[in-house]
Structure 1
């Protein structure tokens, strides 16, 4: 039984899209890593709680196939902040978040980092 579950999880990982804009924070990458840890012996891995494994697989498949998105369609294309999907995608990207962190630094922190980098170069 573990072999069939393993193959189902592998198929799910192949179907799950990777989001390159979220380096280090992508759900697809996280799921792939977790499957690799859970099935470290591949098809020969012993599963202690088969019901829990099946439940997790079913839930991940529902997310991957947009089950709830189709079951409960949205009435509007914007969010509570009036941002569109494209704007939200940009806002949660790793590059944008890094830029915002740089802007939010205070003057003292910027000076400290500048002096720290000078000391490291010596």
Structure 2
């Protein structure tokens, strides 16, 4: 059983090595999340507690994501723009950590920002 767990851990680490880290999203990077989740699962579980079938399914799913199986199967057009019509460079800039800090997206929701904008507008008007 321990040999199976070791093999699954090695496969997980191999998949993690193939998954690129995004330097613009340090706190919200999916690759970092997957690494942390996998390390937590392997570290905190004994080899007897690690469900082999569930672990194998997760490893297969991660491998399909790394290999871009779904992207290649379902992408109908060249990847120059997103579904919003904006270029991917613009979308990546907007989604970066720097942009989030500048706009304070993490602190306020859409309604709060709109209410503040309306209050500021009403103060200027009066």
Q: TM-score, normalised by structure 1?
A: 0.74
Which of 81, 93, 101 is the aligned partner of 2:104?
Answer: 101
Post-superposition offset of 1:13 = 1.1
Tell whether the 8 Å contact from 1:90 to 1:96 is kept in structure 2 after alignment: yes
Shift of 1:41: 6.7
**Cα displacement (A) at 1:18:** 0.5
Query: Which structure 1 segments of 5+ residues have no match?
Result: 108-122
Distance in structure 1 (CA, Å) of the matches to 2:84 and 2:50: 44
Q: How many residues end up aligned between the 2 structures?
A: 105
Gaps of 5+ in 2: 106-112, 118-126
Which position in structure 1 is the counterpart of 2:31?
Answer: 28
SS of corresponding position for 1:30: helix
Pairwise CA RMSD: 2.3
Question: Could you tell me which residue of structure 2 aligns to residue 5 of structure 1?
Answer: 8
Is the 8 Å Cα contact of residues 5 and 50 (structure 2) preserved in structure 1?
no
Please give the secondary structure, in 1, of the residue aligned with 2:26: coil
Q: 1 CA distance for matches of 2:15 and 2:48?
A: 20
Within the candidate set 36, 52, 56, 1:54 is matched to: 56
How much does 1:47 deviate?
4.3
Distance, in Å, in 1 between the alignment partners of 2:89 and 2:53 is 38
The 2-side partners of 1:64 and 1:94 are apart by 23
Counterpart contact for 1:2–1:47, Cα < 8 Å: no
2:47 aligned with 1:38 = no
- 1:89 aligned residue: 92
